[in-house]
Amino acid sequence: MNTKILIIGACGQIGTELTFKLRAMYGTENVIASDIRKMNNEVVNSGPFEVVNALDYNQIEHLVEIHQITDVYLMAALLSATAEKNPAFAWDLNMNSLFHVLNLAKAKKIKKIFWPSSIAVFGITTPRENTPQYTIMEPSTVYGISKQSGERWCEYYHRMFGVDVRSVRYPGLISWSTPPGGGTTDYAVDIYHKAISQGKFECFLSSETKMPMMYMDDAIRATLAIMQSDESQIKIRSSYNLSAISFTPNEIAAEIKKHIPDFTITYKPDFRQQIADSWPASIDDTEARKDWGWHHQYDLSKMTTTMLENLRKHPNVI
């Protein structure tokens, strides 16, 4: 049977680039993008697109049936900073959308699920440096609580019903092609935009706040790698630690100054500082590297060069 893919949340930061990659691999007609509304953007205009509410089981089931979907990538979620402003809706969206997809797989209507978790599952009691795969997880944000709960449900559905669900814990993700989406790590996207457009940046985190980050190309490669791996290689059914680089706002600013010498940064920490302080500074992703061959390609220097080059080439993105 041909692979037919449904991406729920295709217009988000990760969903956008994931859609293009999957269409390049599997053919445009075999990748159905969907989101809560139809916008006039490249994702919507470049292939099959459906409006779907991730909270509506019947809508998702209908799309699965009419398009003969085999794989679902559930990318719809309310991110960390945004979720803190609307906790009840964040819990509802982040949890019930997952239940809908897990239940479709349990009913044998789809074969395979990708669902992203996050470093937000960790908390202040978690070891901050080289955070292990298996460790204390006491998240302090709504987003983190929903992701940790989701991990437990994924593992449960795999163990009890044989559902083939796969997951990685994304660190902060950095992309030039989509704007910041309400995450605590989004300063590391916005800083590049402001460096080019204004030559200065006011950071909502303190200068020495170190967090795990990843360039979007690496995140997409990891997502595709875990989904293309043989089922026997996937040993962890909660979610895999995933790592690439860790840096502070001070370090990213210093890297930008190599390209834009007059760039300046100031600091005005807000409520997101407390969220960042509860997360790891670096991640141990040995299990992902061992089980399905994960490796990253972008360090801070390469990522900075790539971000600034692309934003200069595409000024309409800023």
Using only C-alpha atoms, what is the Rg of the chain?
19
Q: Annotated catalytic residue: which of 73, 143, 157, 240? A: 143
Q: How far is CA 137 from CA 81, 126, 149, 155, in A?
A: 19, 6, 11, 16
**CA 94, CA 115: separation in Å to the nearest integer?**
10
What CA dihedral angle connects 10, 243, 247 and 134, to 10 degrees? 110
State the pairing for strand pair 211-215/245-247. antiparallel
Q: Examine the residue annotation and report whether 143 is marked as an active-site residue of this protein.
A: yes
Question: Can you read off the two tokens belonging to residue 302?
Answer: 């390469």
In this structure, is the dihedral angle defined by the CA atoms of residues 21, 26, 29 and 31, taken in order, positive or negative? negative
Sequence-separated (6 or more) residues with CB below 8 Å from residue 265: 191, 200, 201, 202, 203, 207, 249, 250, 253
Amino acid at 239: S
Instruction: Give the catalytic positions in this structure.
Output: 143
